[in-house]
Amino acid sequence: MTVKILAISGSLRSGSYTTALARASAELAPESAEVALYEGLASIPAFDQDLEPGRTPEAVARLRRQIEDADAILLLTPEYNASIPGALKNAVDWASRPHGTSALMGKPAAIVSSSPSPFGGAWANQHLRRILSITGTPVVETELAVGKVDAKVGDDGELRDAATRERLASLLAELEELAAEVGRAHAEEQLV
Ligand code: FNR
């Protein structure tokens, strides 16, 4: 069975390093997994609790469907002012609703942060992990923070750094394993 992974980049910038890592993840996933890139972040409106339930914006419904249809999600984030970008937090807020039965509830996830700084957006990485702990989203143990990312991605957007390619491939394998575990647990629940 192919494990479907949805990669969500938190950057809207056309030359984004974060999105370059998302594209690289499609090449680096295990053979038994496939990575699709989420493309709709720019069209998600600001979260408005008055719109729930029943008046879900179409772009939000699409995001939720894409997360639901995936076996796992890979969240890739830049660091803005020591946290994650507002656009990504906004998308996570929408996807976290309805509380308790949301698309994010129980969905296996992995996090990649990156930055031109040597720290690789470690604060953003930790903030996102904290947020996902509240949304009921299990996250793989490994924390991948890619520092000096501007030296690791070429002008053509290719991830060139061999060590980072290896770390990303290993994270994806860990995510696939977590997705398989969660899948087995669901199957067992259905047998009971
Ligand atoms: C940044 N940047 C940044 N970098 C960092 O390591 N820590 C930080 O707190 C911030 N803060 C920050 C705030 C804002 C508003 C911007 C626009 C940028 C720099 C950031 O890491 C850099 O621009 C990355 O290249 C952005 O990621 P993408 O768009 O290349 O994926």
- Whole-number Å distance, alpha carbon 31 to ligand 1 midpoint, is 32
Q: How far apart are CA 109 and CA 94, in angstroms?
A: 17
CATH number of the domain to which 120 belongs: 3.40.50.360
Q: How far apart are CA 16 and CA 104, in angstroms?
A: 25
Residue 190 binned pLDDT confidence (cut-offs 50, 70, 90): confident
Q: What percent of the chain has pLDDT over 90?
A: 92
Ligand 1, residue 9: give the atom nearest the CA. Answer: 31
Q: Output the residue whose Cα is nearest ligand 1's atom 13.
A: 80
Question: In sequence order, which ranges of the chain are alpha helices (DSSP H)?
Answer: 17-28, 58-69, 86-95, 122-134, 162-191
Q: How many domains does the chain have?
A: 1
Here the tokens at position 98 are 């309805």
Interval between CA 81 and ligand 1 midpoint (Å): 7
DSSP 152: T
Indicate if the pLDDT at residue 189 is higher than 90: no
pTM exceeds 0.95: yes
Nearest CA to ligand 1 atom 24: 115
Check pLDDT > 90 for residue 76: yes
Q: Is the pLDDT of residue 27 over 80?
A: yes
Does residue 188 have a pLDDT over 90?
A: no
pLDDT tier at 60, thresholds 50, 70, 90: very high
Sheet holding 109-114, edge to edge: 33-37, 3-9, 72-77, 109-114, 144-146
Q: Is the pLDDT of residue 192 over 80?
A: no
Atom of ligand 1 minimally distant from the CA of 149? 25
- Grade residue 53 by pLDDT with cuts at 50, 70 and 90: confident
Q: What is the mean pLDDT of the chain?
A: 96
Q: Residue whose CA is closest, atom 12 of ligand 1?
A: 80
Is 114 in contact with 121 (CB distance < 8 Å)?
yes
pLDDT band at 29 (very low <50, low <70, confident <90, very high): very high
Query: pLDDT tens digits, residue range 82-141?
Result: 999 999 999 999 999 999 999 999 999 999 999 999 999 999 999 999 999 999 999 999
Average pLDDT over residues 160-184: 96
Residue nearest to atom 17 of ligand 1 (CA): 80
Q: Which domain holds residue 186?
A: 3-191
pLDDT at 173: 98
Which residues line the pocket of ligand 1, CB cutoff 6 A?
A: 11, 13, 16-18, 78-82, 115-117, 121
Average pLDDT over residues 21-34: 97
